[in-house]
Structure 1
């Protein structure tokens, strides 16, 4: 059992992550790939992935066994990491003593290959190889599915924020799922080992994760910035649809109606997004996003709320109806989800 101890200050410092975390999704998916449970959710993805695994995966699997301890440095919790490269740069900057301590701990439960000795000493070439392996894994294994990963994680975030608005922080914590129980001032989480996490005024980041399975997880070192990574609901059949052919111009009805960029922005606004998030997702400029959002807003398909200098865009009932019609035309059942 994991027991997370809150103080009154911590109750005011609970945050829900804005979207998927690159390194948590990589590490969780490497572990999930090595397991056999969760067939209904991950079976099709596992069968698609295994023939396509990059060679660099051999560097990742020994560090991320399917059960038990894995090093915290693989999922850094400090610094701004808006891109995979920024996240990997943070990882590669891990101090040598921490590398040695965490890999020594891993070696007590897992037989490690020889090259991990160089990693424990902070060898620059070995660290560079690890960074390359993370890039290759993201590109070949996760990127084809990233649209679904992001959409389902952001949908989960929207549900969490609704719980927060309806029931405050206690409502948010009480609604995290069947593997958690809120017993004020302690959040109890189903966990393979007994662990106590004392927040001590630092607050807690709730990180929804697409590949987290089967129960929430956290960092082993309680002195690191606190985070609780938890499973989400999944769109049914996500794996088969993720790797389907990309709509060709002229065969994407919503794209033909609105234009490809506006159609993608409306899809992003289904669960809500800021201008910055939309620009990053579509790899276009902030002014371009603002211009397209103006058109969608004038058509009554989105609404925009501005707070603290940021614009948050959300699809209106009319916009969601258009997206629902698109889902039906693609043979998807709107709102169809599978619980992990």
Structure 2
């Protein structure tokens, strides 16, 4: 066999027993989940801001960032729901490079999945304990959902995962918000078909079990830009793109039409400072159209304490070791600007 079996890892139940979510934090998560549900179903007019590092590489700096976010949250919570990005798995286009704290709790050392699972849960739980803010993460590996299902309030399905059947079926069993990104091709119909699949019940094999799911009515779209056949990035956050998406939603039998705009990735051509302008344009588009005000429920922004990025091992505290991010000063200003639009 070409597989080398290293060691059998604990089950999600075993990991959760080792590092449980305290009862008082369970209540916080339930309240946060309900708040986010109310936004996506149209019951609440608050706006989602999913914001934080490209990858959560260091517990201390990530929790420092989330504490800063919590202080701002106190000033804007009547208008916004701030959801920190604590992304613990990092997709790599070529398979090379740092793959997130769940794989490598120390980015300068070899992978250690057992230590990574513990480090991931410890960081998420600490962030909730210190701030009361439950987080978003990307579901890169569907079989890992059990390790985080009790701690996340928002899950993103990436551009390269959204066409995968197992991702779609797994989301159908979630009870939290799930944003399905458009694929790298930019095809809206692929994204909407993924939402349709996630919103409906399914029977399938999952982690060695035959399972039934009931569908997730909080599955929704995320626009992150596209890449054309020549490798050029094509944005899809403009007014015309949003109207087109609204029209396509109108023609499909989908619950809770909703869209979140990813201001980075192919929308910004990975020019991280552009996220400020893009976010403001999206907020302006919501003001111009009652349909878009109803459709666009939030934005995703990559930000950290220090702006830009660095190589693994460079040692700058609070600076991304993957994609470049907005710095804290710009982040704080932008959040207040978003609140002013609401």
Q: What range is the shorter-chain TM-score in?
A: under 0.3
Per residue, is there more helix in 1 or in 2?
1
**If the length of structure 2 is used for normalisation, what is the TM-score?**
0.24
Query: Whose relative contact order is higher, 1 or 2, with alpha carbons under 8 Å and at least 6 apart?
Result: 1
Pair member with larger Rg: 1
**If the length of structure 1 is used for normalisation, what is the TM-score?**
0.24
